[in-house]
Amino acid sequence: MSAVRAAKRALRTEIKRRVVALSEAEKQRQSLVVSQKLFGQPQYVASQHIAVFLSMHDEVCTEDIIKDAFHRGKTCFIPRYHRNSNHMDMLKLESLQDIETLPVTTWNIRQPADSDDSRDEALDVGGLDLILMPGLGFDKSGRRLGRGKGFYDTYLNRCIQHPRGKPYTIGLAFKEQLCEEIPVDSNDVLIDKVLYEDNE
C-alpha cells in the first residue's frame, strides 16, 4: 500500500513539473482541442445532467465546455469540496453568470459556499449522465491520478450505489499529463475515457 502511495507521490511531482513548463497559450490551445473533441462525443451529446469541474490553472480549461453545455440546454453541476474530509457534492449551477457570484476558496477555485444549501445536489435530483473528471495524470487504460484527497473516487462510489448507477466518466487532459501506467489501489475507480490532443 505504501509503495503505491510513494509511487503516486513521485508521479505527481513529475507531472506537475511537466505542466508548469506549459505556456498559458499552449494550455489554452490544448484546452480548445480537448473541448472540441468532447463536443463530438456521443456520451456528451446525449447527456442531460453533467458534472463539470471549474478548472484550476494547471487543468484543461472548462469555460468553453460550460458555455456549450448551457447553450445545448444541459443541466450543469459543479463540485463543492469539503476541506476536512474527502466528501464532495455536485451542486447545480444556475447559469454562466452564476459562476461569478461563487466565493473563491483557499485553493483558488470558485465553489458554492458551505452555507449555501439552496442548490440541488445531483444525486438528490435523479443522478448524473456524465462526469467530466479533472486529474493530475491519466493513462490510456482509464487509471487516474488525483491530488490525493480521494474526492472523485468517493463520489463515484456514491454514484454506483445510486439507483441510476455510475455515470459515464471522461477525463480531460493535456497530453503532458498522459502516463504509461498510473499506480492504483483498491479505492481508485477507473474512468471510461480520457480526451487529450493525440497524434492522429
pLDDT digits over 15-26, tens only?
999 999 999 999
pLDDT digits over 82-122, tens only?
888 889 999 999 999 999 999 998 878 899 998 888 999 99
Instruction: Indicate the average pLDDT of the chain.
Output: 93
pLDDT digits over 155-200, tens only?
999 999 999 889 999 999 999 999 999 998 888 889 999 999 985 4
pLDDT digits over 56-84, tens only?
999 999 999 999 999 999 999 999 998 88
Greatest distance between any 2 Cα atoms in the chain: 47
Q: Which residues of 126-164 are buried (b: 16+ CB within 10 A; e: fewer)?
A: ebbbbbbbbbbbbbeebbbbbeeebbbbebbebbeebee
Give pLDDT, residue 185.
84
Q: Which three cell numbers stand for residue 181?
A: 501506467
Give pLDDT, residue 98.
94
pLDDT range class, residue 1, cuts 50, 70, 90: low
Taking the C-alpha atoms of residue 181 and residue 110, their distance in angstroms, rounded to an integer, is: 31
Please compute the mean of the pLDDT values over residues 47-62 and round it to a whole number: 96
Comparing CA positions, the residue from 21, 31, 39 lying closest to residue 196 is 31
Give pLDDT, residue 153.
92
Comparing CA positions, the residue from 197, 167, 195, 174 lying closest to residue 38 is 195
